[in-house]
Amino acid sequence: MTRRHRMPKVKPEHRPHRLDGGTIRIGGDTYGIAAEIHDPEGWVWAALQLMNGTHDPDTIATLLSERFADLPLTRAAAVVSALMASGYIEDAAAANPSGLSAREFDRYSRSRAFFRRVDLTPREHDWELQLKLKRSRAVVLGLGGTGSHVAWALAAVGVGEIHCVDHDRIELSNLNRQILYTEDDIGQFKADVAANRISRVNSDVTVTRSRRRIENESDLARLVEGYDVLALCADEPRGPENIKVWASRACAAAGVPWAGGGYSGPVVTCGVFAPPRGACYECVSAQAVAKRRPGIEVDLGGPGVIAFSAGISGQMVAQSVVSLITGVPDPMPGTLRAMNLAVLGDHDVFRAPPRADCANCHPLTSSRDRS
């Protein structure tokens, strides 16, 4: 149902302009946001000009109808209504919501503008997504190259509760990429330092920590219990029953969506999973592997990672976590994406359907015994 704004106003980020032939471009030149409106009579352009936050919808419709003799009031109202449903219009009369402090309105003012541009869902006010973040609880498992960036980003954007988990201590060789640590921290537990540091980045979020090592799927299931989302940034154990498989199964059973990421040399990857929305990690991964030529060894190992490969990995995971929480943009669960830093512009997105016999994707019909 169309949301009715009290005082419609074109979002400043979507300011329209007219092209030849009466076509209106709105939302700039960004794929996924920009749109064009065919407007030979000039009705839509006139409506957009009136949507400046000083008129209510009925007044705008009346003014349009008075200006254009061939535009009945009902159709003018429909033009106004359609524009309000488009996502390019905000309500200038919307008050700041309760639930965020004056300091948070200031702190997140740029995030608000970011969401206002990316989010094309009509909303009562443009703090809705920030409130969703504040009311969310996230686990960051692994606080190394990827996870340190994730923990920082989730604190910076205002995820309300962040649980930092890592059993490891900080080493000098971590400092080429792990953003939360300094030379003074060498030898200390990552969980302690990371939690302290992101608490100082944003004291409006609640940060907890754990130095524990995740030993099995049951450990992971207990870890995510009660949380809204998991950021999986740990890479051990590896092998057939690796930590991603544990996350896939534990999160599917608990109904907790998750994002995970990492790097293999220059190839940075990030996956997003929330079965039954989209396929689970095991389904997507198996079908990605099946595309390879048999016999190809992909995981060449080695310690090759640098500040920007870790940072991109972590920020991709952080963005995925935020999209899982807010729905903006569509997180497209069941997707792996990759960026090859060895070749400029080599980005890849891989999606695959759930396999018919997958217990994560079809929990009610599968007979797989996980006990």
Partner 1 sequence: MAEERETHPVPDEAEELQVISIRKLDKIETTGFDSNSHGQ
* Residues listed for the chain: 371
Per CB under 8 A, the segment of 35-43, 62-70, 203-211, 215-223 that binds partner 1 is 35-43
Q: Report the sign of the C-alpha dihedral through residues 194, 196, 198, 204, in that order.
A: positive
Strands 17-18 and 24-26: antiparallel
Q: Which amino acid appears at position 9 of this protein? A: K
Question: What is the distance between the alpha carbons of residues 276 and 190, in angstroms, rounded to a whole number?
Answer: 34
Q: Residues 208, 161: contact at Cβ < 8 Å?
A: yes
Tell me, rounded to whole angstroms, the distance of Cα 45 from its chain centroid: 33
Question: Judged by CB under 8 A, does residue 298 bind partner 1?
Answer: no
Question: Judged by CB under 8 A, does residue 287 bind partner 1?
Answer: no
Q: What is the DSSP letter of 173?
A: G
> Alpha helices, DSSP H only, in 225-306?
243-254, 281-290
| DSSP percent split of the chain into helix, strand, coil, nearest 5 | 40, 15, 45
Per CB under 8 A, the segment of 59-67, 83-91, 125-133, 307-315 that binds partner 1 is 83-91
The residue within the footprint of partner 1, chosen from 7, 10, 44, 155 (CB under 8 A), is: 44
13 or 192: whose CB is closer to partner 1? 13
Provide the minimum distance between the beta carbon of 71 and partner 1 in the complex, in angstroms, as a whole number. 9
Q: Residues 257, 322: contact at Cβ < 8 Å?
A: no
Provide the minimum distance between the beta carbon of 367 and partner 1 in the complex, in angstroms, as a whole number. 33
Per CB under 8 A, the segment of 30-38, 192-200, 215-223, 269-277 that binds partner 1 is 30-38
Q: Residue 120: helix, strand or coil by DSSP?
A: coil
Per CB under 8 A, the segment of 78-86, 91-99, 257-265, 329-337 that binds partner 1 is 78-86
Question: Judged by CB under 8 A, does residue 371 bind partner 1?
Answer: no
Question: What is the distance between the alpha carbons of residues 161 and 158, in angstroms, rounded to a whole number?
Answer: 9
Is residue 9 within a helix (H) or strand (E), and if so which, with residue range?
A: strand 8-10
Q: Residues 158, 202: contact at Cβ < 8 Å?
A: yes
Q: How many chain residues interact with partner 1 (CB under 8 A)?
A: 24
Per CB under 8 A, the segment of 21-29, 58-66, 216-224, 245-253 that binds partner 1 is 21-29
Question: Judged by CB under 8 A, does residue 101 bind partner 1?
Answer: no
Q: Which residues does 240 contact at the CB level (< 8 Å), separation at least 6?
A: none
Per CB under 8 A, the segment of 27-35, 125-133, 179-187, 284-292 that binds partner 1 is 27-35
Question: Judged by CB under 8 A, does residue 2 bind partner 1?
Answer: yes
**CA-closest candidate to residue 32, choices 116, 112, 118:** 118
Q: In the stretch 233-252, what mask flags binding to partner 1 with x, by CB under 8 A?
A: --------------------
Question: Judged by CB under 8 A, does residue 12 bind partner 1?
Answer: no
124: how many CB neighbours lie within 10 A of its CB? 13
The residue within the footprint of partner 1, chosen from 3, 9, 18, 75 (CB under 8 A), is: 75
The residue within the footprint of partner 1, chosen from 31, 102, 291, 293 (CB under 8 A), is: 31
2 or 121: whose CB is closer to partner 1? 2
Q: Residues 289, 351: contact at Cβ < 8 Å?
A: no
Provide the minimum distance between the beta carbon of 47 and partner 1 in the complex, in angstroms, as a whole number. 9
Per CB under 8 A, the segment of 73-81, 136-144, 275-283, 333-341 that binds partner 1 is 73-81
51 or 83: whose CB is closer to partner 1? 83
Question: Judged by CB under 8 A, does residue 34 bind partner 1?
Answer: yes
Question: Judged by CB under 8 A, does residue 38 bind partner 1?
Answer: yes
Q: Which amino acid appears at position 171 of this protein? A: E
Where on the chain is the footprint of partner 1 (CB under 8 A)?
1-2, 26, 28-32, 34-38, 44, 74-75, 77-79, 81-83, 85-86
